[in-house]
Amino acid sequence: MRKHFRPTVHSSPKSFPLFGKTALLSLSAALALAVSCSQESAQTEFEKGLAAYNGQQYEQAVELFSRAAKRGHAEAQFNLGVCHADGNGVPRNDAEAVKWYQEAAKQGHPRAQCNLGACYDEGRGVGRDRTEAARWYRLAAEQGMPLAQYDLGLCYEFGKGVPKDGEKAIKWYRQAAEKGLPDAQCRLGLCYLGWVGVNFYNLNEAVEWLRKAAEQGHAEAQFRLGHNYIEGYGVPKDESQAVAWYRKAASQGYAEAQNHLGVCLVTGTGVGKDEVEAVAWFTKGAEQGHAEAQYNLGNCYIQGIGIPKDEEAAVNWYRKSAEQGLAGARHNLAACLMAGAGCERDEAEAARLFRIAAEQGDASAQCALGKVYTNGAGVQKDDVEAARWYRRAAEQGNAEAQNLLGLCLIMGIGVQEDPDEAVKWHTRAAEKGIPEAETCLGLASLNGRGAPLDHAKAVEWFRKAAGKGFHQGEYWLGFCYENGMGVARDLNEAKNWYRKAAGQGLQEAQDALARLKHPQSD
């Protein structure tokens, strides 16, 4: 709940005229004097209570606030509510806080109205009632209270207690923002970025309001402004400026900024590469429960980036992130379980996690699940299901899945044989530098299967794969040199490539070397 207790400076109580000894008071005058005296007494007790509160003498403050509150003093009623809400001078009691906020709110006290709205909004000390919350926020907002204006804007943005209305949300956010409320300035900026429930896209307005909030130290605004500099949204792209704003937000404990700052440090984006500092920021974010920071910290542990390699620690952080639903963490945790890295091997659990992540749309998990079905690891072997998952990943641009789907299509495994479609997928994978796909394209050109017969083109593809050290590419390049297909026949060059492939354990290359060592007569 937001609290608005602020020390208030009050003028001295007004003096009242003295009456002569013989003056007679009418009944109405006597009553008026009694009320005035009562009000003066309540004001005095409130001011004493405020002094006691500011001196951290909370029990005395509560006693004095109570006396003034019972005499109808609205400010005392509000502050007494705050004491009950905070548990200062009395045991914390939200229902009692609501009672006193209501008394003050009925007298038009704007901060009490706002706090009462928050109580109804959150169901604290009173049954949750978003309609009633919006009503009290409005009463305070119409008196010009910035926080109530902001809260009313949230009601309109999300349809809490009022119909959703983006224009009204913007209206109330702007009123609060113009009074300098950083929460409202940040929210208004996000609205203009189209990142929240209200979309009035205006990059210049977005940057203006985010900067105002950021310069007041608003952590989320600092982070969002940093993101604008990373992407070049409404400002010239400036990675060093982005890092500066990320660092400000991260230093305030904003977990998302801590994670992004870690990414910048580990990649050297906008700042000198520093893997050790990156791990420190990932750790801060991870310990706050930020799922992506936990995932990134797990990656650092599994690869030994900025910290000694520790597979058990990696699994621990992957698990925490996976429990929050992060698909990438589920994929990596499944990979550890499948390999028994940092944990006991559990193929069935690995398959289950791959499936969950795959169903979330994670392309790497979809490809991994396809391999699970291909190998029958933790599930019953199923080539049709494997090909289905390869296709889903391939359609998202996963290069490994594009290559594997192409292999299924060449051989008719789990799908109908289709060399033409195989070449399509292998081409996409080859464009991403997958050497196995390059080799398959070379074979397609060598045999005229799925591609025009073109031995020179085949050699070109084999050479690309061989240049990456792929043993099959090396073997087939040697084959072309041995047989003069697409290149001039050169047995020494053939032996050179066969030798490279044989050194990686490829039996066909070893056989080819033996054949060339002991050639058979025609």
* Selection from 242, 234, 294 nearest residue 269 by Cα: 242
Can you give the C-alpha Rg of the chain in angstroms?
A: 36
Is pLDDT at 37 greater than 60 in this prediction? no
* HSE of 301, CA atoms in CB hemisphere, 13 A: 24
Q: Could you tell me the fold of the domain covering 454-522? A: 1.25.40
Fill in the amino acid letter for 171: K
- Nearest-angstrom CA–CA distance, 65 and 257: 42
pLDDT, position 182: 98
Instruction: Kindly state the tokens that stand for 1.
Output: 């709940």
pLDDT of residue 518: 77
Question: What single-letter DSSP state applies at residue 159?
Answer: T
* Token pair listed for 327: 């698909």
Instruction: Look up residue 378 and give its two tokens.
Output: 């933790």
Which residues, 6+ apart, have CB-to-CB distance to 349 below 8 Å?
Answer: 334, 337, 378
What pLDDT score was predicted for residue 353?
98
CB under 8 Å to 311, separation ≥6 — which residues? 301, 302, 336, 341, 342, 343
Using the predicted structure, report yes or no on whether residue 503 has a pLDDT greater than 70.
yes
**Residues 508, 54: Cα–Cα separation, whole Å:** 87
298 vs 313: CA distance, rounded Å = 7
Q: 323-349 as b/e, with b when 16 or more CB fall inside 10 Å?
A: eeebbbbbbbbbbbbbeeebbeebbeb
Q: Which two tokens stand for residue 519?
A: 């050639």
Taking the C-alpha atoms of residue 437 and residue 426, their distance in angstroms, rounded to an integer, is: 5
For residue 83, what are its two tokens? 């004491």
Please state at what angle helix 291-303 crosses helix 255-267, rounded to 10 degrees: 30
At 30, the pLDDT band (50, 70, 90 cuts) reads very low
Q: What pLDDT is stored for residue 391 in this prediction?
A: 98
Binned at pLDDT 50, 70 and 90, residue 115 comes out as very high
| pLDDT above 80 for 181 | yes
**512 burial class (0-12, 13-18, 19+ CB within 10 angstroms)?**
buried
In this structure, what token pair is assigned to residue 122? Answer: 């959150």
Position 17 scores a pLDDT of 24
**Tokens (6 digits) for 383:** 């080539």
Determine the longest span between alpha carbons in the chain, in angstroms: 148
Helix axes 291-303, 311-323, angle to 10 degrees: 160
Residues 378/372, Cβ–Cβ less than 8 Å = yes
**Residue 8 pLDDT greater than 50, yes or no:** no
Does the pLDDT value for residue 520 go beyond 50? Answer: yes
Mean pLDDT, rounded, of the chain: 92
As a whole-number percent, the residues of the chain with pLDDT over 90 amount to: 89
| Side-chain half-sphere CA neighbours of 48 within 13 A | 17
Helix locations, 304-360, DSSP H:
311-323, 327-339, 347-359
Output DSSP code: residue 376.
Answer: T
Arithmetic mean of pLDDT, 187-195: 90
- pLDDT for position 517: 87
Tokens 């956010």 found at: 173
Q: Find the Cα–Cα–Cα–Cα dihedral 234, 236, 240, 245, rounded to 10°.
A: -20
Asked whether the beta carbons of 410 and 422 are under 8 A apart, the reply is yes
In terms of phi and psi (left: phi > 0; alpha: psi -120 to 50; beta: otherwise), the region of 433 is left
Mean pLDDT of 283-294: 98
Euclidean distance between CA atoms 403 and 434, whole angstroms:
8
| Token duo for residue 166 | 């983006």
Residue 515's SS3 state is helix
Rounded CA-CA distance 334/357 in Å is 9
- Distance from the Cα of residue 75 to its chain's centroid: 41
Tell me the average pLDDT across 418-439.
98
Report how far residue 421's alpha carbon sits from residue 409's, in angstroms, rounded to the nearest whole number.
Answer: 7
End-to-end CA distance of the chain: 93
pLDDT in tens, 359-417: 999 999 999 999 999 999 999 999 999 999 999 999 999 999 999 999 999 999 999 99
